[in-house]
A and B are shown apart, each in its own frame.
Chain A
Amino acid sequence: MTTLKVRVNGEDKELDVDPEMPLLWALRDVLRLTGTKYGCGQALCGACSVHLDGQVVRACVTPIRRAEGRSVTTIEGLSPDGGHPLQRAWVEMGVPQCGFCQSGQLMCAAALLAKKPQPTDADIDQSLAGNLCRCGTYTRIRAAVKKAAGLPDGK
């Protein structure tokens, strides 16, 4: 065990864990931040997507040591009150069905909008290509990203 210092959602945390433990399990099992989900463990589904210094990473394959001294943002830290334009658009447009993949979808969409506030359909498809939704909410996700971006076609 080693003590690792990681900034999580704006708070400094010290973790005594195996440095190889994936960030996902450090968040869920150690810090009890359960909004980030386990879906595949192999960076194939995107349910565990978080931001590491503003960039999307799949927490299930990111060893916690890679986050040492860096800043992690999870769904719990996306906005203080659930008021991120994407979160608002998601609720208004009834995007979630079972909801399980939506934290990952939102974190990827948020990284996209931070980089490109007026994304095209191709940008959305590309940024969310790694995020599976078994319930099939894709068309609403696309529309909600556009709505949050203030684009037409976001209904």
Chain B
Amino acid sequence: MSQPVTMTRRSFLEGLNLSVGGLALGLGPTLTEAEARSKVVPTVLKPNVFVHVAADGVVTIVCARSEMGQGVRSSLPVLIADELGADMARVRVLQADGDKAYGDQNTDGSSSVRGVYDDLRRTGATARTMLVTAAANRWKVKAVDCEARDHAVFRRGTGESIGFGELVRDAARLPVPRAEDVRLRPRAELRNVGGDLPLLDGPAYVNGTAVFGADIALEGMLVAVVARPAVVGGRVMRFDATRALAVPGVKHVVEVPAPKAPYLFQSWGGVAVLAENTWAAMRGRAALDITWEDGGNETYDSEAFRETLLASVRAPGEPFRQVGDVDAAFARAARVVEAEYCTPHLPHAPMEPPVALAWVKDGACEVWAPTQHPQAARTEAAQVAGLPESQVTVHVTLLGGGFGRKSKADFVGEAVYLSKQVGAPVRVQWTREDDIRHDYYHTTAAQRLRAALDEQGRPTAWLHRTAFPSIRSTFSTDVKGPVFRDLNQGVLDLALAIPNVRAEACEALAHVRIGWLRSVYNIFHAFSVGSFMDELAHARGMDPRDNLLDVVGPARHMSLAELGVPKLPNYEAPLEKHPVDVGRLRGVIERVTELSRWSERGKDGRALGLAAHRSFLSYVAVVVSMKKDEAGRARVDEAWVVVDAGLVVNADRVRAQMEGSVIFGMSLALYGAITMKDGATQQSNFRDFRLVRMAEAPRRIHVDIVRSEEAPGGVGEPGVPPVAPAIANALFALTGTRARDLPIIRSHRV
């Protein structure tokens, strides 16, 4: 039987006594300021904020990124441990609080491994260097005559060894070596990296002891449920709390102020009911009598907006990518192929709805939250509490899914505001209805693609127009449509071997809060481009695989000039380290068509669809097989995924992310949509926002990881974009009809 997860403030802080809240340190190996000033002889080795070796030999490694199912806690610590030469059985992983001392903690953009790979290795190597030096000094030999492995330092050629724990006191007295004096291990010496690493939290996940956002309770805590305006920009005109306050267990009814545009991470406003337990708070909210003022967005209708977006892409937009003379090529074309694609708003719908616990007390604020962005949560909490950030502590729990929703700190702000108002710890619990109705939605898009073909059927020009309200509208009120950076995701970096290319961004105003959803704009850019590639193949009378390889062209690194862009945002990575590598794209296409027996498609009723996409610096190709079931529904029967993410740290979690991406991509391709009428969301729960269920999951998902020593790319998101177009293409192969609007259930029996 597990212990109830009730913690006092003190015991929780004691449990985290290795954190260094408030001390600004770079990623480099440095002592904290207090430690540097201290005259006390250190008894542990702690060359920086990420690693700590105790005298009993226990190595504590801090995981500064949030665990939301991608397996980051089972992956990042291994980089330090392998460099150190630690035995994973004697490594303990501690989750970092939100603190700039850890560098960037924002767990999004598929950036965890690719962002810290070098830094974490250097951290481990620094600690190893100090332990080896301590051992060498003791034996009075040179450091090169010693090696660290299996949690000890060995003296070469003698069989002598000293455990890490025994070396700690000596090592801790040594100066932290300079970066140039620290040697990284050769790849072959990294024992665990690249393997199938065990799931660190596996046992806790299956016995009920894993601690998520709603699983922490404090003495005297109240649970809050908030009634929020149905329309973005709406506010409370008046409310009557009498009936709510009469519900047994309800303690307070508090108005939450309405935000001002731009909405940023501000809470939605509304009326909160605070009670002794969640049930009483829910009943209290149901008893509220509120009159709302809608505030301008109450005319938003997503079906009408679809027409607005289509009109937008039927006129020229702002050209962000240009090669050759597209207009002249179209004027000369023997044939023109064109198509329009539409995709709806989507919610994130993590299985754990947003939830946060805050306690504002005695000039300080403590928060427990399942946040992807602990530092943004800290900043928001400080602003709402009216305190300096140094007085705010944000503890990160496990996340019951994130997908971008929990990068936003709005729900943390709500908890802080309410705690400050009532003087008690407050847990804000979002219901599923709150989550579906008040999300930062994935944006809705329309796209128009056009290709010119010459007499021989060769593509001579490519025009891509895209219109969607930008995420930037959440952060600024003067955003009229996609900006240059937004087109990085699958438009500017699209590999094409076509002499005349233009990509244009067309106007689109936001009427809801727009946010990041797993793989973001790549979702619809890959859908349109991946579908259009297939349409082009059929127009050319070619095998879709051969057409795709022909259109992306030969293996090469595409220059900015060939791409037709002045620069490439490239997921914040230098192009020299992460080029647009058509060879790698071709590699995953060739491999996935081989594994799926592409050449035998059509036999035994196998209808296959193919798509490939580069995103977050990784290359993924997907083939899906569709069949009709007894009821005549087209079903995804089997899927193959080939991923080239460069060097991978934890192969099993990479496979798991690809498997999950297929299901995530299926849900959005087949069923998912948020529709808005009169400014309000029409869906409310899993009854009307549909996700793939067990029986709809493919029989098998085959994942193949390209063995690579290239710099690591992203993994959490890149699997998603090629899934929807692969499904649309398989559906075409199965039925002869094309789905250009998502979700497919609107036009086909799926």
Contact = CB atoms under 8 A, between A and B. Distances in A.
B715 to A, nearest CB: 12
Contacts of B68: 98
Given A32-B5, A76-B2, A100 B400 contact: yes
A131 B206 contact: no
A34 to B, nearest CB: 4
Given A134-B351, A137-B660, A38 B214 contact: yes
A30 B277 contact: yes
B201 interface: yes
Contacts of B71: 97
A28 interface: yes
A28 B351 contact: no
Interface stretch (B119-127, B179-187, B287-295, B685-693): B685-693
Given A25-B277, A100-B400, A139 B698 contact: yes
- Residue from A38, A42, A87 whose CB has the most chain B CB atoms within 10 Å: A38
Interface centre among A21, A100, A126, by most chain B C-beta atoms within 10 angstroms, is A100
A146 B352 CA distance: 27
A103 B208 contact: yes
A91 B5 CA distance: 23
A25 B442 CA distance: 31
A126 B280 CA distance: 34
Nearest to B663: A136
Contacts of A39: 351-353, 432
Contact of A21 (B196, B202, B206, B279): B279
Contact of A33 (B201, B208, B429, B694): B208
A99 to B, nearest CB: 3
A100 B5 contact: no
B351 A90 contact: no
A66 B567 CA distance: 65
B202 A96 contact: yes
Contacts of B205: 90, 96, 99, 102
B661 interface: yes
B399 interface: yes
B664 interface: yes
A28 B278 contact: yes
Given A22-B279, A39-B432, A74-B208, A90 B2 contact: no
Contacts of A79: 207
Contact of A138 (B211, B403, B429, B697): B697
A41 interface: yes
Contacts of A1: 248
5 contacts: A34-B208, A34-B215, A47-B351, A98-B401, A133-B663
A136 B662 contact: yes
Contact of B660 (A21, A40, A136): A136
A91 B248 CA distance: 42
Contacts of A72: none
A94 B703 CA distance: 15
Interface in B580-617: none
Nearest to A44: B686
Interface string A43-80: 01101000000000000000000000000001111110
Contact of A100 (B209, B278, B352): B352
A124 interface: yes
B214 A34 contact: yes
Contacts of A139: 659, 697-701
A35 interface: yes
Contact of B2 (A18, A35, A40): A35
A112 B282 CA distance: 33
Nearest 10 Cβ contacts at the A-B interface: A35-B208, A136-B663, A100-B400, A98-B69, A99-B205, A97-B69, A32-B4, A136-B660, A138-B697, A75-B208
B352 A91 contact: no
Given A75-B207, A134-B349, A41 B431 contact: yes
B398 A98 contact: yes
Interface in B206-223: 206-212, 214-215, 217, 223
A13 to B, nearest CB: 12
Best-buried of B4, B196, B656, B700 by chain A (most CB within 10 Å): B656
Contact of A136 (B211, B664, B687): B664
Interface in A95-114: 96-103, 106
A141 interface: yes
A100 B206 contact: no
B250 to A, nearest CB: 12
A118 interface: no
Interface in B240-296: 248-249, 277-280, 282
Size category of the binding interface on chain B: 35 or more
Nearest to B249: A18
Contact of A124 (B210, B352, B694): B694
Contact of A40 (B199, B432, B653, B661): B432
B209 A29 contact: no
A141 B695 CA distance: 12
Interface in A120-155: 121, 124-126, 128-129, 131-142
A36 B278 contact: no
B1 A76 contact: yes
B659 A136 contact: yes
Contact of B694 (A32, A100, A128): A128
B317 interface: no
A27 B716 CA distance: 34
A100 B212 contact: yes
Given A34-B5, A138-B663, A40 B685 contact: yes
B723 to A, nearest CB: 10
Contact of B277 (A29, A131, A140): A29
Contacts of A47: 351
Given A42-B687, A126-B695, A137-B656, A76 B248 contact: no
Contacts of B351: 37, 39, 45, 47, 98, 100-101, 132-135
A122 to B, nearest CB: 8
Interface string B400-426: 111100000000000000000000000
A102 B248 CA distance: 33
Given A37-B352, A98-B68, A99-B69, A32 B6 contact: yes
A25 B223 CA distance: 12
A73 to B, nearest CB: 11
A90 B202 contact: yes
Given A44-B687, A47-B351, A134 B401 contact: yes
A91 B202 contact: yes
A135 B685 contact: no
A37 B400 contact: yes
Given A42-B687, A134-B351, A96 B400 contact: no
Contacts of B67: 98
Q: Which residue, B2, B71, B697, has most C-beta atoms of chain A within 10 A?
A: B697
A19 to B, nearest CB: 11
